[in-house]
């Protein structure tokens, strides 16, 4: 019974750690979105740097940021997209990949 309980405990801890990493990516993405509101000329590299600087070492190298802008009749719109794959696994069992994508759309400039 003890091995089953230990595996269950390790699985719960691993799941919690995975959720923490995903929450950290979401929070970092929100910071980059706020920086984009302050500076509409923000580049994709600068957005990537903002996100990377706010993450701990477990997620830094795995996060991909894409910044696109377009002009629509209502004004200028920017879209930040983050793609992150979290690995979830329990020792002795299979490892699963959980793809995680965040999209943030921001109106940069309203039509006058």
User: Poorest-confidence range of 43-47, 72-76, 100-104?
Assistant: 72-76
Question: What does the alpha-carbon distance between residue 79 and residue 73 come to, in Å, rounded to a whole number?
Answer: 16
Q: Tokens 């940021």 appear where?
A: 65
> What is residue 26's DSSP assignment?
H
- Give the domain ranges of the chain: 2-110
Residue 62 has pLDDT above 80, yes or no: no
Sheet strand arrangement including 95-110: 64-72, 75-89, 95-110
Q: What is the pLDDT of residue 110?
A: 55
- State pLDDT tens for residues 94-105: 788 888 888 888
């Amino acid at each position: 019974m003890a091995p089953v309980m230990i595996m269950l405990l390790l699985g719960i801890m691993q799941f919690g750690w995975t959720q923490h990493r995903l929450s950290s990516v979401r929070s970092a993405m929100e910071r980059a979105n706020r920086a984009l509101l302050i500076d509409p000329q923000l580049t994709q590299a600068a957005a990537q740097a903002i996100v990377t600087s706010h993450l701990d070492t477990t997620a830094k190298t795995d996060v991909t940021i894409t910044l696109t802008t377009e002009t629509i009749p209502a004004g200028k719109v920017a879209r930040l997209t983050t793609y992150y794959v979290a690995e979830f696994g329990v020792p002795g069992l299979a490892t699963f990949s959980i793809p995680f994508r965040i999209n943030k759309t921001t109106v940069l400039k309203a039509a006058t």
